[in-house]
Amino acid sequence: MSRCIYLDYNATTPVALEVTDAMVPYLRYHFGNPSSGHDYGQRAHEAVARARDQVAALIGAGPAEVVFTGSATEADNLAVLGVARALKGRGRHLITSAVEHPAVAAPMAHLAEEGWEVTVLPVDGTGRVVPADLAAALRQDTVLVSVMHANNEVGTLQPIAELAALAHARGALFHTDAAQSAGKVAVDVGRLGVDLLTLAGHKFYAPKGVGALYVREGTPLAPILFGAGHEGGRRPGTENVPSIVGLGAAAALAAERLPAITRTLKVRRDELHRRLTAAVPGLVLNGHPVARLPNTLHLSFPGVAGRELLAHAPEVAASVGSACHAEGDGVSGVLGAMGIAPERARGAVRLSIGEPTTADDIDAAADHLAAAWRELRHA
C-alpha cells in the first residue's frame, strides 16, 4: 500500500515541531509546581503566564480572561454548568443549537434533567442557526446561549456576532465553542462579542489533553471542580505545565501564520473539491458553500456508503463524521438536523486538510477516492 494521506485534521492534528521543542524543557528540566515559591516553581509559573499571554493574544483577550483546562470538553462543561450554577437565581432557561458537539449538548441535557428548560434551535439546510429563530426563543429568564463557531463535521461557520448581540439585548450571556475554528480562521472575542469561548489544543497543533476557556472579565462563572484556588479559583488542580506551554506555543504559531494559512487551506480544499467533482458525477457538497472552514470538505458520494468508500481507499485517512461519535452507520445528527435525506447522508465523507497537506497529497487523495467510488459503483 502507498503512503497513507492524512485528511482528518478536524479529528486531531500532529504536534508541531516548534510546539514539541517548547515543551521539552518543561518535561525534563523545569518540572516545578507553579505554585511553589522556589526557583523551580517560579520557572514553571513564568512559563504558564507566558502561555496565557500567547493564548490571549490569539483571540484578542486579556491574559486574566484565559482559564486553562484539561480539554475543550472540560472547557465547554465549565462554561455551560458554571454559568448555570452562577445564575440559577436569575433564570433557568438555556438555548443551544441542534448541531452542537456532545461537549455542549450533554451538559445541556444534564441540566434539563435537573429541571432547567433547554431550547434547541433548528438549523437551515446549510447548518446555520437563523438569527430570527434565536430572537424568538429568547426570554426574560434566559441566562445562557451556546452556539458553536464552526461545525466539526460540515465546517459551517455560524453568524456568532449577530447571535451574541441578540442574546445580550435580552440580558443573556453567550458562549461559543471555537475548537474547530481557532488556528484556521481569525477568532477575535471582541468582534464576535462573546462572553465565553472554548479552545482545544489538539485541533491546532498542540498536544491532546489541554484546552482553554475564555471568560470575559466580570462574567459570573461558578466552578464545577473543587480543590485549591488555581486558575483564579475557576479550575482547581496543579497546572499541566508542559501541555500549557505547548498550547501557548501553538497559539503563537497560529497568530503568526494567519491569515496566510487560511488562504492556503482554502486553495488546497477547493482543488480537492474540483478534482472530485470532475471525477464523481452527482457529488454533493454538504454545509454552507461560503461560510465554512477553509480546510473542511464534507461531501456525499452518490450510490455508496461513506464508510465503505473509505474502507476501499485505505490510502486516505479520513472519516464519515466527528471522531467523538464515529461508530455505527446511522445518519449523523448534524446531517439529520440539516434535513439531509438518509440516502445522501449515507454517502457522506468528511475530508479535512491541514498545514502539512501538500498539493501532491490533494492530487493523490482525489485519485484514490475517485477510484474507490468507481470500484464500488461497478462491483
Indicate the DSSP class of residue 324. Answer: G
Give the bridge partners for 93, in sequence order. 117, 142
Joined grid coordinates for residue 277: 467533482
Q: Beta strands of the chain (E only): which ranges?
A: 5-6, 66-69, 93-97, 117-121, 142-146, 173-177, 196-200, 211-215, 284-285, 296-300, 316-317, 348-352
- Residue 324 a catalytic site member: yes
**Helix 72-87, helix 102-113: angle, nearest 10:** 30
The CA–CA distances, whole Å, from 352 to 184, 292, 331 equal 11, 12, 19
Classify 66 as helix, strand or coil.
Answer: strand
Of 144, 154, 142, residue with least CA distance to 99: 154
Q: Which of 136, 278, 324, 326 is catalytic?
A: 324
Return d(Cα 352, Cα 320) in angstroms, integer: 11
Annotated catalytic residues are 324
